[in-house]
Structure 1
Amino acid sequence: MKRIGFLLVAVWISLAFSCQKNAQQTTIILGHSLPTAHPVHNAIMYFADQAFANSDGKLQIKVYPNSQLGSEREVLELVQIGSVGMTKVSAGTMANFSPKYRVLGVPYLFRGEEHAWDVLEGEIGREILDSGQEYLLNGLVFYDAGSRSFYTKDVPIRTAEDVKGLKLRVMNDQMAIEMVNLLGGSATPMSFGELYTALQQGVVDGAENNAPSVVSSNHYEVCNYYTLDRHTMLPDVLVVGMTVWEKLDDKEKSWLMEAAKASLVEEKKLWRKAVESDMKFLREQGMEIIEPDADSFREATKPMKDRLRANPVLGDLLDRIENLNKS
């Protein structure tokens, strides 16, 4: 029934929005799953405003947040067929569509924030963004999504050993699933929108995400512990479907790219401010913030890197990322 509902939505969107280009204005539909309180949503609205300003009103981005058009995966499928023009998704979700994105889900891939942005805003990052074009998904820019850490209801996680036996929600991403299972937990993929109820009812014992997502989703209401193991720095991706991209003329493409780059600068500012504010808020709400033994997580997940090196494409990407700017 859920799949039938999704297909009906796809048909409705296609009928409503597939022909929105005329001599006066081009309108692009952008759907995403985040609530309007989230800093990335605010960055997307900034992107839409910049596109409108750059084009003197000739390019309009209509934003549908809060999973109005479907889950991350569902909206990506709509973007592929051209029923929706753009979306914002996690790089983990993109990995199900474009394999090179998988490397970004490797635990402890980056040496720190500076190394991460040297990769994401450099030649390697552009190679990964462009790799989606083959699958009709053109990546414009990466957005900061901070670092992902575990949060749990009843059992605090202080070392990698504490993950054993816990049912933890992850994205539908093979790297995230493998990571939790390797730690001895039971990885449970589900959509983010279903997670609050799953936590409340004990379907899962916890999840993993960044602080703004924990706050904007109200998951702190049902979880007591936030363990800052910082296992991945998995970025978000601003994506335009190739069906829509190829309909744009050179000026429109330029307006869109300029707006995307400007929105990244703004998004980084919004993200830093949100993380600082949200961590303070979580402490005020009584959530215990744990600084765990990170080395135990790094050691336990090392086999993931070892296995990836055997892949001729991803192994090369992994080596290039690890060696970038290495003194």
Structure 2
Amino acid sequence: MKKTSQYFILFLATMLSVFSCGEMSDVETIKLAHSLDVNHSVHKAMVKMGEDLAEISGGKMQLEIYPSQQLGTERECIELLQIGSLDMTKVSVGVMENFAPRMKVFGLPYLFKDREHAFEILDGPIGQELLDEGTKYWIKGMCYYDAGSRSFYTKDKPINTPEDLKGLKVRVMESVTAMDMVKSLGGSPTPISWGELYTSLQQGVVDGAENNPPSFYLSRHYEVCKYYSLDEHTVLPDVLIIGTHIWDRLSEQQRAWLKEAVDKSVGYQRKLWAEAEQEALEEVQKAGVTVVRPDKTAFEEDVKDVYETYSKDEDMKDLINRIKNN
């Protein structure tokens, strides 16, 4: 029933576009949906991308944005994109690993030396190689947006060492690497959709979760979880993707216009992200959250078995080494 309603919404939007355009039928309208709040830096970057796209194309291309899970969860939006009912979406790379398996490398804990190293990889040949990974599944990656580092937040006690995770149910995305990581640290990973997490925390379905500071703040999860432990276990970017159904239909000129607008949005989003991250940490502390910065050594030690498991795959081992040695 839920998916039927999503398709109906898209059908109405498409028909409205057709009838309202009239003589403007030569305008290419791209429909983009995502799950984030309108105050999130990624949404703001997408709004700017739409403005830039209209300007660059001389009004011949435009972007229609559906935020806040209006058309479904991240996974549902990918599925809509695959069948051609949606043109673009933004998802966490953790969700993308279900559609582009090699992207699961980004879910490995403590993969990057620092933020600068992460940007070098994402903006370089390895990052581009992985953006192209999903084309066989009708998905083309366009760019990476900064999503900072993910850390644990909990209801009843801070996480100072991996020992503190033992016996705790921790919400994770539908990501195998996220589940493996939490298991290696002694916690019990529990996949729950982002939209259901606040209630799940309230009702005790899970004891905590893990995410970056702006997501922790904008979701208001700090109202339930009063401890935020900055162990910064993963640097998991967001990925902007487009369906090959529309990408293949676009002319070379249209692709160039879209790519230029996308590239402009990346730098803009990263600037907004840095500001949002600082604001989020300040605001949650004002709201009574205890922010702790644990020693990461024990966490890095406990996740070594995750690397051993993934390195059994020669292709994954090579990819890990290329990133680590870059």
Q: TM-score, normalised by structure 1?
A: 0.95
User: Aligned match of 2:316 in 297, 314, 321?
Assistant: 314
Q: Deviations over 1:301-320 (max 9, x none)?
A: 11111111111222211110
Displacement of 1:17: 2.7
Displacement of 1:16: 4.1
Structure-2 residue corresponding to 1:72: 74
Which segments of 5 or more consecutive residues in structure 1 lack a partner in the other structure? none
In the TM superposition, structure 1's runs of 4+ consecutive aligned residues that sit over 2 Å from their partners are 14-24
Structure-1 residue corresponding to 2:14: 17
Taking the TM superposition and a 5 Å limit, the aligned residue runs for 1:1-327 are 4-14=1-11, 16-17=13-14, 24-324=26-326
Q: Distance in 2 between matches of 1:221 and 1:299?
A: 32
Bigger mean CA deviation after superposition, 153-162 or 69-78: 153-162
Q: TM-score, normalised by structure 2?
A: 0.95
Q: Distance in 2 between matches of 1:233 and 1:213?
A: 14
Q: Secondary structure at the match of 2:242?
A: strand
Bigger mean CA deviation after superposition, 194-203 or 19-28: 19-28
Q: Secondary structure at the match of 1:67?
A: coil
Decide whether the 8 Å contact of 1:28 with 1:60 is kept in 2: yes
Displacement of 1:12: 4.3
Q: Deviations over 1:138-181 (max 9, x none)?
A: 00000000000000011211001111100010001000011111
Q: Deviations over 1:85-144 (max 9, x none)?
A: 000100000001111110000000000011101100000000000111111110000000
Give the letter aligned to residue 34 of structure 2: H
Against the structure 1 CA distance between its residues 37 and 265, is the aligned structure 2 distance closer, same or farther, given a 3 Å change threshold? same
Q: Deviations over 1:264-310 (max 9, x none)?
A: 00000000010111111111111000111211111111111111111
Q: Distance in 2 between matches of 1:166 and 1:295?
A: 21
Q: Deviations over 1:20-55 (max 9, x none)?
A: 697530001100000111111111111111111111
RMSD: 1.4
Bigger mean CA deviation after superposition, 177-186 or 116-125: 177-186
Q: Deviations over 1:179-205 (max 9, x none)?
A: 111211110101111001111111110
Which segments of 5 or more consecutive residues in structure 2 lack a partner in the other structure? none
Give the letter aligned to residue 2 of structure 2: G
Q: Distance in 2 between matches of 1:304 and 1:241?
A: 32
Give the letter aligned to residue 9 of structure 1: Q
Identity %: 47
Decide whether the 8 Å contact of 1:14 with 1:84 is kept in 2: no
Q: Secondary structure at the match of 1:77?
A: helix
Give the letter aligned to residue 127 of structure 1: E
